[in-house]
Each structure stands twice: as structure tokens, then as C-alpha cells.
Chains A and B, each alone.
Chain A
Amino acid sequence: MIKAVTLLIVCLFAAAGSGRPVSAQGDHAALLQRIHDYQFGSDPGVVDAANQWINESRMDPAQRKATARALAALLSSDASFAAKQLVCRNLVLIATVDQAPALLKLLPDKRLAHFAMMALTRIPGKVVNSDLRRAAPQTSGPTRIEIDEALGNRRDSLSIPLLSSDISSADPAIAAAAADALAKIGGSHVMALITSAFARTTGARRVPLGAAMLAAAAQLQGQGDSSSALDAYVTLDHHPATAVQGAAALRGIVQIRGAAAMPLIVAALREDRTPRQAMAAELAREIPGRAATLALSRTLPELSERGQLLLIAALSDRRDPAAAPAVIVSAGSKNAEVRLAALNALGALGDTSTLPLLLHAAATGSAADQAAARSSLSLLRGAGVDSALLAEVGQGPLPIRVEAINALGQRHVSAALPRLVSVVRTSPPQIRTAALTVLRDMGQPADLPTLVNLLLSTPAGGRDAEIDTISEIARRGATEHDRTAVLLQRFSAAKRPADRVDLLTLLAQVGGPQALTAMRRAEHDPSPEVKFEALRQLTEWPTSAPMEDLLQITRTTLDPKQRTIALRGYLRMVGVDAQRPPDETLALYRSAAPMMKSDAERRVMLAGLAKLHTLAALEYASSFLKDAGVHPEAESAVVEIGSGTIGAWPDKTRTALQPIAADNTNEAIRKRAQDVLAMSKSFGDFDMAWEVSPAYEKNGMDYVRLFDTPFPPEEPAQSAKVNWTLMPVGTNPAQPWLLDLLALWGGEERVAYLRTAVWSDAGRDAVLELGSDDGVKAWLNGKIVLAHNVPRAVAPAEEKVKVALLPGWNQMMLKITQHNQGWGACARFTNTDGSPLKGLRFAAPSSEAVRAQPGAHAVLTPAAALRPSSSVRAPRAPRP
């Protein structure tokens, strides 16, 4: 048979007179043979080859004709379903009437008929229409529906008799398709046929006929035959098959009659909870003209609550100010919902004249009314609104003035700033506060000199609001100079200690190196007030930059109060730098211990210590448990540290926590210890002893591309410099096994690495069960065992990979990509039959236990070993 097919193909090419070289024909003969032999899954390459052939053929009419003919010949061969459907697909762009006979022969085949129609419907011209009409009577069911639809889509008026017959088909699906097809052909004759059928039909079978009437009427309307269309709409309006079709008919009537149909819209607006009312609400937005606005507005008071709400929303969307008077009346409604809708609508409809009403509602209304009125005040359009609001600032009741100021802020009226500064100087507290809030929101660094003057002219002790305002504005400066120059200059010039203290406070709130320098200098200020404020601000500096300053003051000052403040600030600051390795931080705490002379200072230290999730920190915190003065704080620190170490050092952590879980000193701490211990039991056989890398990003790369972009943990030359820290565990009680990178690092389009050590007392085969959100790449003892670039949520055992564990410590590393939202992983090992694997131990790779034991296998491997294994899968498209 193969030879016969080849011969047939060669003959076809010769007959087509393609003029192609013999060798090329030979290539295509081989391709045609592959297509003939194609089965799903057997030769995926044939699809691309066929596509390429079609694309090459399309450009040359002769080749195109020859290719179509050669392909169509396969349809008459003994080729499989897979082959013939592939042929039909490839004929979509190149088939002509010459291929129609071969395609038509497939219509009786229920599986191939659709593929034949894929190609037939793309062939232009009336010949195919005729072919389809002739073929239709020999078909039924889905194929008949496809033919009817095709004839309708091709606007084949000669198929009207066939389709008219089909609308009476015993098969309701065919009848519906025929009605739909007739409507697509359209015309007054078709409309008469459908209308007649509609009139003599009852029950559910009227529904598709009604839909066809609507479609045909729309087409008539588009062609200018509004009269026939209107007849159909009126028929459906009076005798709808469904309420929804009645509403659609109303739409058609209104579109044709325009404003003359307003009474119908008004009537429909009264028909509560019906499709006609909903349609009327939509039409109330669409019908054009001021007269329509006024007519609708007049209706408003006569409607039910529901009708009013719908109409107010529609009037708002019309944005025609002519509706404002009616909506203003509604804004005084006793019905809260109507009033609220009206207040909201006035933002789109109102103008200067609406201001008094809105200001009054914003000042005195219910919380919902106030929110709506304020929103509308911010949106009112028109040139006079801003100046009218400005005028309100200086007159009338205080609440109204406050609302006017707020509205100016919401509207970003920068021209109002001088007036607001003036108001701050002279007005009662409510006005002053409102004005400062607006100044804070709108002020720019260029306004700083004026505002600092304002600050210094305010009596000392009552400047907090001014300080907040000025610092907020100063922080908007693009450069440090913009942010601090005015403040530094005024600080240097200020003489009164109270002024200097406030300017120092401002500088501290703005921050930056220049401000820090000023703070350090002020430490030597002759004024004790200024000196104290400088120290206070140093202790609260947001970075650890003044740490050494504070240590120095602690060591050198003779003032016990200063010493205490400086030491506490230092101890707090030791914990500020999250980038410092925890061992170094612990060493700083230990070195400060001799300086700590009070329980209060030890408490500060223990609060910082609690954030260090290391075994050494756990042991150091435990050493304070015997100190009665800080016993509760020590317990608290041990429990907090333990919550982090319970995964990596479960035994030692449990030993530390169990006495606290049984202690009656503090109920909350005892409960927390019990929770941590209980949580550790829910880890089951999941590996919870992990260290985590920092999160990595690369400019512009999404998670798909980051997946194969190496970062330091997988780069042998850089891996030693990675700052690995202990991975927090048990952060989500619902998913105790989850290594939650989102909670730890947050962010999007980035990656992080996790590493663990797995002890096996003997070499053994096992199954590594992994879950990840999103993609995961896994190395075991330096070799990639899994790579799946995928967006997904995490679940246990999404991946199951057979692995070989070596005797001793096995090193495993995961790379987890983050697209957005959730980010994390989970891992455990089972026997190859899926049963629990006993006898494994897990540890953090940098722990003493792993480092001390021989047989710890390399984490990383030369680049050659990074080749994907058989478990590597291609990325799948995400669904955003």
C-alpha cells in the first residue's frame, strides 16, 4: 500500500504540473507518506513538516494548487483518522473548490465530518454552498447543524428553503441552528418565514425562533429597513417567548423610535425586578439628548426605590448636568439608599451650585453619606468649584470649613497653599489640623522655608502636627540636599533650645548622612536639652549606623542616665541589621553582657536574642533562665528561638522547651511553648531542617527565565559566599510542612534556594517527594534530579523522583522560583514502594553535626552535571 500511495502522489504532482524539481517532489512524496502513516503520538515532527510545506506552497499559486491536490488525495486513501484530520487542518488555508469533492465525502463520517467542514467553510464561492446544500439531506445531528450554520454564515440565500424545512426538524437542536442560520442570511423574506414559524410554534421551541427574529430584525435595522425590524420587535414585545426576549425587543423599539419611545422606557423602569426594568436602565444611559435627560429626571420621584436607584445610576452615567436638580431632590430622600446613590451621582452631575448641599452632607451626614459627599466633592467639575471652595474656608460653621479644606486637598488645589498656611496661623484647632493635613499631602520641598517659619512661629510644645507635616514634605525631596538643606540651615541659625530640639527632631525624621552628622555634633551641644534630644534620636535611628557612637557613649559618659539610654539604644541597634550573620550578632550581645548592669538592659538584649534562630542563641538564652530578674523574658526568648530551631535541631529544642511548657510562671509563654512542641509533631516525616539563601532577582527576568539563570548557590565560584540562614518552619498551622518563602522574603519574580543534609545509615534507593510554589529544581549530592519550570500552588508530593541516597550525609539543594503570591516548598522521602522511609535524619548543612561527620557529599557539581535528567519537564503556560 505504501508504494501505491507514493505512486499516487507522484502522479498527482505530475498532473498538477507544478514545475517543482523532481527531488523536491520526492521530498514531499516522503512527507505525504509520513502523513498517510501518521497516528496520534507516532510522529510529532510530521505536523511541523506539513505546516512548513503549506507555508512554502501558499506563496506560489501553482504549488499551492498541487499541494492541495496531493493532500486531498490522501482523504480518499486508507489513511487513518489521525492522518485525515491532519490533512483537513492543512487544507484550511489552501483548499479550493477542487478539493471540495474529497472533503464532502467525509461528511458521513461522524468523526471526520467536522474536520471536513473546517476546510470546506474556508473555501470561498457559491460552488461550495451548492455542494453543502446537496450534502445536507444525507446528514443528521451535529453534522447537519454544522452545515446549516455554515450556510447561514456564508449568507447563502439559496439555502433558505432547506433551512426553512429544518426549523421544523424533529431534532430541536437542528431546528435552533436552522433558525439561527436563517437569521444570519436575513432579509424581509426570511423575517416573514421566521415570524410565521414563531406564530405557529408553542413552548420551548419558540425560544430559538424568537432569538432568530431578534437577530434578523437587527440585521434589517442595519440595512435601513427599520419598518420591518420594528414590526418584529413589536411582535416580540407583545408576545415574547421569554421575558429576556421581550426586553431585547424593547431595546430594538427604542433604538428605532428614539425619544418617541421614552414612555416605554419609563413604563419599564416601573416593572420592578424584571429584565425589562434592567434593559430600561441600560437604555436610560444610551438614549441621547438633553430632552431625554429631562424626561427621565421627571420620572425619578415616581419610581419605586429600586427604580430610583437604577435611574440615578443611569443618570450619573449620562453625565448630563440637566439631571442635577432631580438628583439633588433625591439627595434629600428619607430613604438612605436613594439618598446615598444621589450623593454619589452628584459628583458627576453637580457644579458650584451643588457645593452647599455636598458640604453640608459631608459635615453632618451619616458615615455613608459623608463618604459619598466627600467623594463627590473631590470629583465635581467646572472652573468655579475650586475658588468657591476656597471662599468657604474662611466663613461659616467650622465643620463646613473643615470639609471645604479637605475637599481642596482631595482636589489637589495647589493654589490654595498660601491660604492654608495663613489659616494654620490664625484658626481654631479643627481648622488648623485640617489645613496641616492638606499641606502635608500637597506641599513640596520648595514650600519648606515657609513651613519652617510657620513651625518656629508656633508656641513650643504644640508643634507636633507641624513637625509631622514638614517631615513628610521634606522626605519628598529628590536629593538629600532637597530634603535637608533648609532644615540644616535653620538648625544652625536657631538660637532657642526649644527650636533646636524641634529642628533636630525634624532632621531625625527625614534622616540621611547629613542629618546623622548634625545629630552627632548636637551630642556635644552646650544645651542639655539639645544634647539629650540628639542622644535620643541616635538611639532610635532607623539603621545601625550610630551603633559605634552609642557604644562609645556607653563606655565614656559619666552621666548614668545617658549611659543607660545609650546602652539600651546600642542593644536595640545590634538587632536592627538583619543582614549580619546571626553568629556575629550573638557575639555582639555576648560582648555587651559585662556592661549590662540592670535587668531592664538584659531584657532588651533578650528581646533581640529571641530573633536569632541558632542553636548557640538557644543555649545562650537558656543560660538566663536561672536569673530570677529576667526569667519570663528568658523563657520567652527561648520559646521564640525554639520556634525557629525546632525543625533543624528538634531534640535539643524540645529539651529546652519542655520545662517551659510545664512551667506555670506565665500562661502565654507556656501556651506558646506547648504550641511549638505540638507543631513539631505535625511535621510528620517531612524534612524541616533547612537553610535558606537570600532571594535573588535579575533585571527584568520573570520566573520562567529565572529558572535556568544560575545564582551564587549554584555557581561553584560564588557558593561559599552565600549567606545561608536557618529557614523558619511551622509558620502556617494549616500547612505545617510548608517552607514558606513568601512569609520570609516576600516579593515576586525571584528565586531562593533551600538546602538540607540527609543522613542515611546505608546506601539506598528512595523516592523524593517534593511540592513547590512555583517551579523547582533539585540537586542531590550535586546532581540535578528534578527540574520543573511551572507556576502552581504548593502541595505535598506534586513531584515524585526516584533517587539514590548515599551512606552518611547527603546534601540536597532546591531552587524555588516565585511568580507571584504564594512561594514555598515541602519535601520528604519514602521507600520506592511509597511506604514511609525510616532511619533518615535531617540537619542544617552548616550544623556542627554535618560538618563534623565524614561523608558529607558536595552540594554543587561541575556544570556538566547540570544537564537535565529524565525528570526534567518543559514549562507550561501560566494562566494569569
Chain B
Amino acid sequence: MSPTRITRRSFLSRAAGLTAGAIGFPAVVPASALGSDGHVAPSNRIAMGCIGVGGQGGRHVLGGIWTPAGGLVSRNDVQVVTVCDVNSRRCEEIRSQVDQRYGKKGCVGVHDFREVLARPDIDAILVATGDRWYPPIIVAAAEAGKDAYSEKPISLTISDAIAMRTAVRRYGTVLQVGTQQRSSGFFRHACELVRNGHIGEVKEVVVGVGGPPAFRECTLPAQPTPDWLDYDFWVGPTPWRPYNAGYVGGWMAYRDLSGGEMTNWGAHHFDIAQWGLGMDNSGPVEIIPPDGKGVKLLTYRYANGTIMTRDPDRLARECGQGNGLMFFGTKGKVAVWRYDLKTWPDSLAQRPLLPNDIHLHVAEGENHHSDFLNAVRTRGRPGADIAIGTRSITVCHLGNIAYDLGRPVHWDPVHERFVNDPEADRLFSRPMRGPWHV
């Protein structure tokens, strides 16, 4: 192998352009290598392309709610070199703001994510396109050797999540799922209390994920497609239907495009439940939906007998917060939500983590971006690695499938397939609309 590489410095100094050449991996730049003024030479920064810069994607780039403070452009160790969106207005708006924040021109706006992946100077990508697009983009990114921060929920199906994991592992790239609760000290603390046995044997987990169990089909009337949107590209791998602004502005309400709240908030809270239970490489064995009779709640059963229910109302009654989760053990309880946790007994929360205890992954500065970029530098696994994300989103999808079928389903977490259930198998995957596939 004798790659002819274009240096990142020279590439950054001119605008975009697709140039043949091998992929360069980022320089190892520990945070401490920042100069005394915190400045990192552009050639040593991790060059990023940001794909999907609508609401959440834009906030990742520029800062805002639900993303690390200041966004990627405020980091000394990152250079956002391109933004990509099929919404040309949004693309230009964010591109322009990136240039403003850097105080110089240089960020390029593009329409097609494949242009981003083809740039040899780009080390890593941020993807915030919506659930439907993550599998094809992440698989293509892995094949191109790009590390990726992918927003959640990472897929519309179990099958696609597994395909993402396979590609990321095969090509040795880093993938951080945007489940930022994995970088939060509160959630880590709660899970460490559970994992170190401080509440005894865990018997039950109550997860506070609200919202309806199923969302509407796409039934909105056709509207003229705006000239600033490549609607066909926006629809991507999902079934096409005529444009309506309601889809673009509210895609999470439609099952073609989203798993609803089960995957939206579920990707966060079921993920923490798996973390606390030590099930990051496993999952439940039976999923029981409400049946209108004896079973009132979506209920998961793990092989060790632990029961997990989706019950925001009980969570609110138990701990005063309906949006989080709570572990019930034989010797105590731990409830955790964004920005705080509560224990029974109270003193449990003060129990220190000792050197010989189980220590869970610590994100630098409790910052999910930093954790990702650290993994990019060291080639280690980030806190919300794709293998973890795949298992967590599987839990969410299993819940939706049980709701959809209206009956219990049995799951084999070792082989990641349903147990003798041809009907559930029909919902394990969805074909993608051509030409997209994974």
C-alpha cells in the first residue's frame, strides 16, 4: 500500500473537491496537547463532515439543547469542513454560521452525503438525518473508513442495527451513538450502584418512556414540494408518499420514518436499563404487550427473571419524575433521570465508588462529543459504542413489535432472533426503497 495522500492542511486551505486517495486517520492529539491558549493547529484537528443539519444536527454543529455546550464548532480539536443537507436552505444557513463562528470562509455545503464520505481529508462524520438514514449512511461511512457520531434512534429495524454493527466492526471504525445519557455522571453513578450490588439483587426496572405505543401511517394530503428540498432524497430508503410539510417537520409521528417514543426516548432510558442490568451484550427473552386484561403494561422479562416495565406513571409516583427509570433491588432502589438521581436508602447515593468496584465507562467532562473524539484519537470504544446501541435499540424495536402484534414474543438474545415466530420475523427487517440497501 503506497497511498498518495493530500495533506489535510492543503485540503482545508482550498474549498471542497473530490480527490482520489487513501483515507488518512486523524492525528492522536490528547487534550493536553492543546497549546497554552487551547489552540490546536488546523492540521491537527479532527476534520468533520456533518450530515443532516436540521434541528438536532444544527445544534450539534452550533450548540443548543440536547447537545454538548457550544457545539462542534466551539471545540479546539475539531474543524467542521463540510455540512450536508437535502434541505438547501438549511444547509446554507448552517454553512454560513459555521464560517461566521470560525471567522473565515472554508466550510462547504453539499447536498449528497456520498460527497462527504468521498473526501479523503475528512476523519469523522456527524449524522443527524433521522432514523431512516442512519443504516445506509453508517454502513457507507464504515466502508469509507470514516468514524461517526450517529444520532439516535439508530435504525427503524433490528436487522438494520445489526448491519450497522457488522460494518463498523468489520472496518474498524469508531461509532458513537447519540445516547448522551451514557456520558452523564448521574446515569453512570446510578448504574454503578446497581452493578456493584448496593441495591441487592435487581428484581425489577421501571422505565419512564411516555407517548403513544404506535404512530400514524402517512396519510397527509399532497402539497407542492418546495424548491429548496430534494424530497425524494429526503424520503430516502423509506416508502415514498407525496410531499407534505407535516412529514418533514414532524417525521417522528410516522412509523414509516420513526419508531415513535418507544425509540425516541426509549433509546435513552432502555439503554440505561440495559447498562444497569449488565445486559449490554444481551437482552430480554420475552416481551409482553398490554392485553387489555391482566397485563396493563409493556413488560420485558430477562433470562435471570428480572422484569422491566414501561410505566412512566408508576415512576412518577415512586420518585417524582416520570421521565427516567428506576431499579428495584432486594436491598434498595435507585431512580435516575436527567440531571439527578435518588436512592432508597438516601445514604446509598453517597456511597463512594472504590477502586476495586466495577467502574463503568467515564466520558471526559461528561461530554458525549469529547468521548467520541477521544475514541477517534485512541481507537478505543466510546461509551455508546455501536454494539451497545444495537442491543439497546433492539429492546425498543422488540417493544414496538410486541405492540404491533398484540401478543407476547420470545427473543433469543444470543442469536438475536425471534424464537419460532414467523409472524414476528416479518417485522425483523424492512426492505429499503431502492437504490438504498445495507
Residues of A within 8 A of B (CB): 39-42, 44, 47, 55, 58, 85-86, 89, 92-93, 111, 114-115, 117-118, 121-122, 124, 141-146, 149-150, 153, 173, 177, 180, 207, 211, 214-215, 218, 240, 242-248, 251, 271, 273-279, 281-282, 285, 306, 309-310, 313-314, 317, 336-337, 340-341, 368, 378-382, 385, 411-412, 476, 478, 699-702, 704-705, 748-749, 793, 820-822, 876-880
Contact = CB atoms under 8 A, between A and B. Distances in A.
Contacts of B260: 877
B211 A877 contact: yes
B323 A749 contact: yes
26 contacts: A40-B222, A44-B219, A85-B241, A92-B426, A114-B433, A117-B431, A142-B433, A177-B435, A243-B23, A245-B171, A274-B3, A275-B25, A275-B145, A275-B172, A276-B1, A309-B28, A310-B378, A337-B28, A700-B313, A701-B316, A701-B322, A793-B64, A876-B250, A877-B260, A877-B261, A879-B252
Interface in B133-175: 143-145, 166, 170-172
Contacts of B66: 820-821, 879-880
Contacts of B355: 378-381, 385, 411
Given A41-B221, A378-B355, 7 more contacts: A85-B241, A146-B432, A244-B143, A309-B28, A478-B347, A705-B322, A879-B55
B170 A214 contact: yes
Contact of B172 (A85, A143, A278, A411): A278
B226 interface: no
Contacts of A41: 219-222, 244
| Residue from B28, B64, B241, B422 with most neighbouring chain A CB atoms (10 Å) | B28
Interface string B222-238: 10000000000000000
A244 B144 CA distance: 7
Contacts of A146: 431-434, 437
A218 B426 CA distance: 25
Interface in B294-353: 313, 315-317, 319-323, 338-339, 346-347, 350, 352-353
Interface in B419-438: 422-423, 425-427, 429-435, 437
Contacts of B218: 40
Nearest to B211: A877
Considering residues B216, B218, B319, B425, which has the most beta carbons from chain A within 10 angstroms of its beta carbon?
Answer: B218
A337 B1 contact: no
Contacts of B264: 877-880
A392 to B, nearest CB: 16
Contact of B1 (A89, A243, A306): A243
B45 to A, nearest CB: 14
Given A114-B433, A412-B354, A702-B323, A242 B22 contact: yes
Contacts of B431: 114, 117-118, 121, 146, 149-150
B356 interface: yes
Contacts of B316: 699-701
Tell me which of B25, B239, B427 has the highest count of chain A C-beta atoms within 10 A of its own C-beta. Answer: B25
A578 to B, nearest CB: 23
Contacts of A244: 23, 143-145, 171
A248 B172 contact: yes
Contacts of A381: 355-356
B356 A47 contact: no
Q: Which 10 A/B pairs are nearest by Cβ-Cβ distance?
A: A700-B316, A41-B221, A142-B434, A244-B145, A412-B352, A313-B378, A281-B379, A145-B434, A243-B22, A877-B252
Given A85-B239, A275-B145, A337-B30, A118 B430 contact: yes
B242 A879 contact: no
Contacts of B41: none
B245 interface: no
Nearest to B375: A313
Interface string B44-67: 000000000001100000001110
B333 to A, nearest CB: 15
B32 A340 contact: yes
B354 A240 contact: no
B27 interface: yes
Contacts of B250: 876-877
Contacts of A314: 378-380
A142 B431 CA distance: 12
B158 to A, nearest CB: 14
Interface in B193-231: 210-211, 216-222
B65 A248 contact: no
A276 to B, nearest CB: 7
Contacts of B352: 412
Contacts of A275: 22-23, 25, 145, 171-172
Contact of A274 (B22, B166, B405, B427): B22
Given A146-B433, A247-B145, A278-B172, A700 B426 contact: no
Contact of A145 (B22, B320, B322, B435): B435
Nearest to A55: B406
Interface centre among A42, A274, A314 (most CB of B within 10 A): A274
B313 to A, nearest CB: 8
Contact of B145 (A243, A337, A749): A243
B368 interface: no
Interface in B55-90: 55-56, 64-66
Nearest to A307: B28
A124 B249 CA distance: 37
Nearest to A386: B355
Contacts of A243: 1, 3, 22-23, 145
B290 interface: no
Given A41-B222, A146-B433, A242-B145, A115 B239 contact: yes
Most buried by B among A124, A146, A240, A245: A146
Contact of A40 (B55, B241, B339, B359): B241
A791 to B, nearest CB: 8
B426 to A, nearest CB: 4
A167 B181 CA distance: 44
Given A273-B25, A699-B316, A142 B241 contact: no
B217 A143 contact: no
Contacts of B430: 118
A141 B323 contact: no
A306 B28 contact: yes
B22 A313 contact: no
Interface string B25-42: 101101011000000000
A314 B25 CA distance: 17
Contacts of B241: 40, 85
Contacts of B55: 879
Contacts of B220: 40-41
Nearest to B221: A41
A229 B64 CA distance: 48
Contacts of B277: none
B89 to A, nearest CB: 15
A130 B172 CA distance: 37
Contacts of A281: 378-379
Contacts of A701: 316, 322
B265 interface: yes
A245 B61 CA distance: 30
A132 to B, nearest CB: 11
Given A93-B426, A793-B65, A877-B252, A700 B1 contact: no
B106 interface: no
B379 A149 contact: no
Given A282-B379, A368-B32, A149 B437 contact: yes
A310 B30 CA distance: 11
B253 interface: yes
